[in-house]
Amino acid sequence: MDYLPAFHKVAGKLCLVVGGGEVGSRKAGVLLEAGALVRVVAPEIDAELLAHKNVTAIISRFAPEHLEGVMLAVAATDDREVNQQVSELAQAQNLPVNVVDDPELCSFIMPSFLDRSPLMIAFSSGGGSPVLTRMMRSKLESVLPQNYARLGDFAVRFRELVKQRVTNPPKRRIFWENALDGLVSEKVLAGDEVGAEALLKQMLDDEDNVLQGEVYLVGAGPGDPDLLTVKAARLISRADAIVYDHLVGKGIMDLARSDARLIYAGKESSKHTMPQDSINHLLVDLAKEGLAVVRLKGGDPFIFGRGGEEAQALAAEGIPFTVIPGLTAAQGAAASVGIPLTHRDHAASLVLATGHLRDGQGLDMDWAMLARPRQTVVLYMGVNNLPEICRQLVAHGLPGDTPAALVEKATLPDERCITGTVAELPSLALRHQVRPPALIMIGSVVSVRAQLMPATAPAEAEAAADTALHAAA
């Protein structure tokens, strides 16, 4: 059994599709994308197919004369007798024929295609499991976004120039590997073809094809590797060097190349392996070596990640950089534990704040603003200062019975969510030995958790009662 004839062979040729339903429309669409002229035969035909300029529609049941003049045939009806008739007549005329979901009647298979022209990828199970091939296509489609077509066009545009300038074939292959798996490709995928062209020409002008390095400030999300963005995963997997923080999970670091330089920067609460100034200098130095550098941070680089300071340091040294956002911990925690950050009946605004200030200056927060009604307050890095935070909020007008929660290790397998009230929160944290990384979530929205995740409510009520008894004792 053969596969679908090469796309360039069906372009401009007449092909037959018998069946005008969803499956027939999909098969016709594959042929139309390849440039074929398509004759569709069916008692009923999809309106979109009817309107296509390269479709000849015949509103009828299949008849032998419908095979006249076609290059190949596809039977996609839900009537096996009709499908078998198409198959037998086509094969008698030596015409390639495909019958959907019936390999025994096929002389060729139509794979599931992922089109990133000029890049084309085909998936096939030999007709055994079309659903599986479509699933695999969908998985790869998420890894290869639509703008990869742009990268293919870029490579085609500069193919001849590179061939003229890099005459040695093995060296030319390495040149293209470096260009298409490095900074040039990232520029193209980001839509900066002018910048990509400048980098490519810089590579051509340099005898050793050495580029200036670039830094990517990448958000690793709240911890669960599945919440990493596609772009972040791609950059991690191709980075020459990765400078990563304490909150970046192992599953995420497993994406790094085996030969990548991995540098641990720490950034654990009150325990930094590397001071921020040293990190800034390190990023500059690595980029000046010509490396593609990923600065990997838990959450989002620009939300309590000090990414702004690093970006300033890079800009001051003229180092190109790109910021790749990630899900911040508040978003991850909210989705994972069933506490909406905003809700029409509970909170019209959201405040993200940090529970400590830089350089050990102590708590100097806008307590009146944080204590306002009808809002959700999420405090990062505040567990160690929790008693003072709750005391100040109550002192500035927030009712002590306002619902509140502590979310420890959000989105990870050992995640915990402990709910109570603002007044109870310090004793709850002590009783349950809550440790960073943990978020403090305050506001009426916390009460919604009992409705969204009712299975957790009895256990949390029991924990709160246990805490009260312990305090009384």
Tell me, what DSSP letter sits at residue 55? E
Core vs surface per residue 100-122: b (16+ CB within 10 A) or e? beeeebbbebbbbbbebeeeeee
Choice among 46, 240, 245, 300 that is catalytic: 245
The C-alpha atoms of residue 161 and residue 154 are separated, in whole angstroms, by 12
10 Å CB burial of residue 446 (0-12, 13-18, 19+) is: buried
Which amino acid belongs to residue 207? E
The C-alpha atoms of residue 195 and residue 125 are separated, in whole angstroms, by 41
**Angle at 445 (CA atoms; ends 373, 443), nearest 5 degrees:** 40
Pairing label, strands 403-408, 416-421: antiparallel
Tell me, what DSSP letter sits at residue 403? E
**Angle at 396 (CA atoms; ends 395, 401), nearest 5 degrees:** 70
Q: Is 163 a catalytic residue?
A: no
The C-alpha atoms of residue 237 and residue 115 are separated, in whole angstroms, by 23
Q: Is 139 a catalytic residue?
A: no
**Angle at 33 (CA atoms; ends 28, 35), nearest 5 degrees:** 100
Choice among 27, 231, 267, 409 that is catalytic: 267
Report the side by side order of strands in the sheet with 55-59.
Answer: 55-59, 37-42, 14-18, 72-75, 97-99
Beta-carbon contacts of residue 241 (< 8 Å; ≥ 6 apart) = 260, 261, 262, 263, 286, 291, 292, 293, 294
- Residue 2 has a CB neighbour count (10 Å cut-off) of 10
User: Which residues are catalytic, by number?
Assistant: 245, 267
